[in-house]
Amino acid sequence: MGKLMEGFYNRQIEEEVAIYFGKPYKISSVKKNEHSAMHETAVFTDGSKSVFVKLGTNSFSADQFKQEAWGLNYIRQHSKVKTPEVIGVVEMKDSVLLIMEAVDVKPVEKNSDWEVLGRGLATLHQITWDKCGLETHSYLGIFYQDNTPMDSWAEFYGQKRLSSSMQMAVDAGNMTSEQCRPVEKLIERLPEIVGPTQPNSLLHGDPWPGNLLFNGIEMIAIDCSLYYGNREIDLSTVDFFYPVSEYFFKAYDEVYPTDPGYSERKALWQINQWLGHVMLFGEKYIPRLMAAVNQYI
C-alpha cells in the first residue's frame, strides 16, 4: 500500500481542493488506481466530489507535473478536446502532488465507443502550427523532451527525438556506439523518407488507449506529452502496445484522412518508442529496435 492509500497526504489534498472549490472538503474514501504506470495514483472523494491525485517523488516531479498541468490547459484552450480540470500542483519537501478533476471512466466496449476516441484524436490533430515543437518542454513518462521549435519535421524528429532518445540509451549503458550507427544512418536519411509535407498537428504525444479516456459521451485526454509535429507519430502509438479496433482508425479517417503511404511509414515513427524501451529495460529490446531501423536504411 502506497502513501496515497495510507492517507499520508490527505491534509494537503483537502486544503488544495477546498481552496479550488471555495468550500470545505473532507475526504471520506480513497480508491487506488490500478492502471497507473509511472506514478502512484488514487481517486479521493468526500461523497459528492471526486478528485484524481498523482504522486511524484523524483527530483524533476515538480517541473513534470507543472508541465502536465500546462499541457492539459493548453489542449482545452486551443481545441474542442476535453481534459480534466487541473485543481493544483502541491509541492512538499520530498514529493509533489498533481490534483485533478476525476473522470468518470466508462469501458470502451462497442464499435461506436472506439469511433468516439478516433474522432477525438483527429479533432486534436486538426489544431496546427507552422513549426514543429512547442513553446515549452514536456515529458514522455520520465523522459524530458526538448521541444525547441524547428521548421523541418525531419530535423525535429531526428534531433529532438531519435538522437536525444539514443543518447539516453547510451548514457544508461544499454546501447553501444556500434549499435548507434544504424540509427545515425537512419537520421541522415529522414528527409528522403518522412513522407509528404503536411501541417504540424497538435500531438497528444502518448495516445495509447489508457490515455484516451471515454466518459460515455466523448474522449477525455490525459497524460499528454504535447508538441506540434507529424500526426503519424501519434497514430503509430495508438496500437503500439496492443491491438486497437479498426473502428478507431476508420472514424479518425472520416474526420482527418491519413496521407497515402502511412502504413509503410508506421514503423519509422515507432523507432523512438523502441529507443525508450532500450533505455528503460535494456538490450533485450535492441532486436526490435534494429528490425524497425533496418526497414529504412
Regarding whether 155 and 245 lie in a shared domain, the answer is yes
Q: Please give the pLDDT value at position 2.
A: 84
Element containing residue 106 per DSSP (H, E) = none
The domain boundary, picked from 60, 83, 101, lies at 101
Band of residue 1 on the pLDDT scale cut at 50, 70, 90? low
Cell, residue 171: 548514457
Regarding whether 263 and 116 lie in a shared domain, the answer is yes
Cβ(145)–Cβ(254) below 8 Å: no
Band of residue 37 on the pLDDT scale cut at 50, 70, 90? low
Cβ(249)–Cβ(207) below 8 Å: no
**Average pLDDT score over the chain:** 95
The average pLDDT across 73-78 equals 96
Regarding whether 133 and 74 lie in a shared domain, the answer is no
Q: Using CA atoms, how far apart are residues 252 and 263, in angstroms rounded to an integer?
A: 15
Regarding whether 188 and 74 lie in a shared domain, the answer is no
The average pLDDT across 85-101 equals 96
pLDDT digits (tens, 9 = 90+) for 190-200: 999 999 999 99
245 is in which domain, residue-wise? 111-293
Regarding whether 187 and 237 lie in a shared domain, the answer is yes
Regarding whether 240 and 133 lie in a shared domain, the answer is yes
Cβ(55)–Cβ(40) below 8 Å: yes
The domain boundary, picked from 46, 74, 101, lies at 101
Q: Please give the pLDDT value at position 89.
A: 97
Report if residue 2 sits inside a domain. Answer: no
Cell, residue 165: 532518445
> Count of H helices and E strands in the chain?
11, 12
Band of residue 32 on the pLDDT scale cut at 50, 70, 90? confident
Give the total number of structural domains in the chain.
2
pLDDT digits (tens, 9 = 90+) for 235-277: 999 999 989 999 999 999 999 999 999 999 999 999 999 999 9
Nearest to 201 by CA among 286, 141, 134, 127: 127
Regarding whether 233 and 96 lie in a shared domain, the answer is no
Band of residue 291 on the pLDDT scale cut at 50, 70, 90? very high
Q: Please give the pLDDT value at position 148.
A: 98
Q: Is the pLDDT of residue 41 over 70?
A: yes
Q: Please give the pLDDT value at position 282.
A: 93
Where does 47-110 have alpha helices with state H? Answer: 61-78
Q: Using CA atoms, how far apart are residues 113 and 8, in angstroms rounded to an integer?
A: 37
Regarding whether 138 and 59 lie in a shared domain, the answer is no
The domain boundary, picked from 101, 119, 141, lies at 101
Residue with cell 513553446: 135
Regarding whether 248 and 158 lie in a shared domain, the answer is yes
Cell, residue 149: 521549435
- Number of neighbouring beta carbons within 10 Å of residue 155: 15
Report if residue 238 sits inside a domain. Answer: yes
| Least confident window among 29-38, 166-175, 195-204, 225-234 | 29-38
Q: Using CA atoms, how far apart are residues 196 and 219, in angstroms rounded to an integer?
A: 29
Give the type of residue at 182: P
Q: Please give the pLDDT value at position 35.
A: 65
Q: Using CA atoms, how far apart are residues 133 and 157, in angstroms rounded to an integer?
A: 10
Report if residue 55 sits inside a domain. Answer: yes
Report if residue 205 sits inside a domain. Answer: yes
Q: Using CA atoms, how far apart are residues 274 and 118, in angstroms rounded to an integer?
A: 24
Where does the chain have alpha helices with state H? Answer: 10-21, 61-78, 111-125, 153-156, 164-171, 177-193, 231-238, 246-255, 262-269, 271-281, 286-293
Residues 6 or more apart whose CB falls under 8 angstroms from that of 9 comprise 3, 53, 55, 90, 95, 97
Q: Please give the pLDDT value at position 275.
A: 97
Angle at 241 between CA 237 and CA 243, to 5 degrees: 90
0.85 exceeded by pTM: yes
Identify the residue with better confidence: 39 or 92.
Answer: 92
pLDDT digits (tens, 9 = 90+) for 115-154: 999 999 999 999 999 999 999 999 998 889 999 999 999 9
Regarding whether 90 and 177 lie in a shared domain, the answer is no
Regarding whether 145 and 90 lie in a shared domain, the answer is no
Band of residue 38 on the pLDDT scale cut at 50, 70, 90? confident
Q: Please give the pLDDT value at position 65.
A: 97
Q: Is the pLDDT of residue 36 over 80?
A: no
